[in-house]
């Protein structure tokens, strides 16, 4: 009965378009009442769920992404990428994927990546013959790399729940993130194989060097953030703070795109985005607590293992569960709801939790472009001025190529574990 209450009420509220954080909190409250727990325990559980040092990285990385956007770093990265390969057949497709990977290494968020690169790249691709729906779909898909390539807010949340190293998760996400990007690139090339595309003029060496000089401060951002973490200079949470300071320095004194008067808007935008994420984390902590305390998670774990104990079958089932969850939930909510069920199963089949964190996050990245709640799709629709129906018609190749990459990452653990095993902290 508790299982029906927790999952039934939650999905009913989601279907009724109640915000995810509120849905989690209400469903958990109903579960607490049914189990005869006092509602007075909710604030304490919320505090313990959010009062973790690692989670401080979330508002800082969100602010860093907002600052980089206001500093027009994404535009400079796009100009540099176009100077290198924009003249080649499929060059603009490669620019989208390459810039998405770079901006992902700044923002840690899928929708933020789409919002940063979409206003420039979608019109640019439309001008040369790609139309509007295809570029909108490609940018939406490429933006999902934002939660795979470090720094990733989803990784921070996963690490806080499973008590694994954020630094190792960050290093584990690099190769899979690039692999997913390559998958989307080839998916786009296949999708547009019959299209007639006008090639952009080739830049000379002087123009390329000028574009590089203009973009170099943006290119240094992921080097500073990730290099500092892997060199042991600072931990991921401190790296988030460094990213904010560096972004402000570049935006105010190098590019001079950010003025003192702009700080108010930056802080407000960052606060709203951070509050949205942290409300979900706080409400999900209560949901996960009642899920575990009432033994629902244990029963569901045992039920999954009763189907099979073959690691390959179990990993396949877990991917299916998370792919379905990604159609309705963001990564943070899905992790809090499902990890209490999935982690015991992963331990039984001896699956490394760092490896699991990567392929589960890839699942949720695919979920960002999967109807009906694929948040990246709606951001892409707004930017590209296309309907949800049109963008969904062009998202198929990216879903297929993303799922192929997902199963490669799932069943070849070394794709995730190679860099952490080299000594990532």
User: Between these two residues, 43 and 371, which has the higher pLDDT value?
Assistant: 43
pLDDT digit string (tens) for 144-161? 898 898 888 899 999 999
pLDDT at 423: 60
- Which among 5-14, 290-299, 359-368 has the top mean pLDDT? 359-368
What pLDDT is stored for residue 31 in this prediction?
92
What are all long-range contacts of 209-213, with beta carbons under 8 Å and residues at least 24 apart?
A: 211/76, 211/79, 211/80, 211/82, 211/83, 212/80, 212/83
pLDDT score, position 43 = 93
Residue 384, token pair as written in the block: 């590209």
Domain boundaries, the chain: 54-421
Euclidean distance between the first and final Cα of the chain, in Å?
Answer: 43
pLDDT score of 416 more than 70: yes
SS3 for 150? Answer: coil
Given a cut of 60, whether residue 424 has pLDDT beyond it is no
- Rounded Cα distance, 209 and 205, in Å: 6
Percent of the chain with pLDDT over 70: 99
Q: What is the mean pLDDT of residues 121-146?
A: 88
Q: Could you tell me where the DSSP H helices lie in 108-202?
A: 110-125, 133-143, 153-162, 166-172, 174-191
Task: Tell me, rounded to whole angstroms, the distance of Cα 197 from its chain centroid.
Answer: 31
In this prediction, residue 360 carries a pLDDT of 96
Residue 361 has a pLDDT of 95
Q: What is the mean pLDDT of the chain?
A: 88
Range scoring the smallest mean pLDDT among 101-105, 137-141, 298-302, 410-414: 101-105
Residue 322 in tokens:
């998370």
Q: Are 370 and 400 in contact (CB under 8 A)?
A: no
270 pLDDT exceeds 80?
Answer: yes
Mean pLDDT, range 291-315, rounded to an integer: 88
DSSP string computed for 337-374: HHHHHHHHHHHHTT--HHHHHHHHHHHHHHHTTSTTS-
At 240-252, the pLDDT tens digits run 889 899 999 999 9
pLDDT > 60? residue 370: yes
Mean pLDDT of 92-120: 82
Residue 348 neighbours by CB distance under 10 Å: 15
Instruction: Compute the average pLDDT of residues 72-83.
Output: 84
Could you tell me the two tokens for 53?
């040092």
């Amino acid at each position: 009965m508790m299982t029906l209450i927790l999952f039934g009420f939650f999905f009913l509220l989601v279907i009724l378009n109640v915000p995810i954080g509120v849905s989690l909190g209400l469903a958990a409250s109903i579960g607490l009442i049914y189990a005869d727990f006092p509602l007075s325990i909710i604030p304490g559980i919320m505090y313990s769920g959010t009062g973790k040092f690692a989670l401080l990285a979330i508002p800082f990385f969100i602010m860093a992404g907002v600052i980089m956007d206001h500093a027009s770093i994404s535009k400079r990265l796009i100009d540099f990428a176009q100077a290198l390969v924009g003249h080649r057949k499929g060059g603009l497709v490669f620019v989208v994927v390459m810039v998405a990977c770079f901006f992902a290494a700044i923002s840690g968020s899928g929708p933020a990546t789409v919002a940063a690169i979409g206003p420039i790249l979608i019109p640019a691709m439309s001008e040369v013959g790609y139309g509007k729906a295809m570029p909108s779909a490609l940018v939406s898909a490429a933006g999902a790399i934002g939660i795979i390539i470090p720094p990733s807010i989803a990784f921070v949340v996963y690490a806080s729940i499973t008590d694994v190293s954020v630094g190792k998760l960050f290093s584990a996400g690099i190769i899979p993130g690039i692999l997913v990007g390559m998958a989307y690139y080839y998916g786009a090339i296949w999708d547009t194989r019959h299209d007639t595309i006008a090639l952009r003029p080739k830049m000379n060496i002087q123009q390329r060097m000028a574009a590089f000089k203009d973009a170099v401060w943006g290119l240094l951002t992921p080097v500073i953030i990730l290099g500092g973490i892997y060199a042991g200079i600072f931990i991921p949470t401190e790296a988030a703070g460094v990213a904010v300071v560096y972004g402000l320095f570049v935006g105010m004194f190098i590019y001079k795109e950010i003025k003192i008067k702009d700080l108010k808007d930056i802080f407000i935008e960052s606060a709203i985005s951070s509050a949205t994420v942290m409300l979900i984390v706080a409400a999900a902590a209560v949901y996960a607590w009642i899920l575990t305390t009432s033994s629902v998670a244990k029963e569901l774990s045992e039920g999954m293992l009763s189907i099979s104990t073959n690691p390959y079958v179990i990993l396949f089932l877990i991917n299916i569960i998370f792919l379905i969850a990604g159609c309705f939930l963001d990564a943070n909510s899905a992790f809090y709801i499902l990890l209490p069920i999935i982690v015991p199963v992963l331990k039984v089949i001896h699956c490394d939790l760092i490896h699991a964190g990567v392929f589960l996050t890839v699942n949720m990245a695919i979920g960002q472009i999967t109807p009906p709640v694929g948040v990246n799709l709606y951001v892409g629709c707004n930017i590209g001025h296309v309907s949800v129906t049109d963008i969904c018609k062009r998202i198929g190749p990216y879903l297929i190529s993303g799922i192929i990459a997902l199963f490669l990452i799932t069943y070849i653990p070394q794709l995730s574990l190679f860099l952490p095993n080299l000594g990532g902290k």
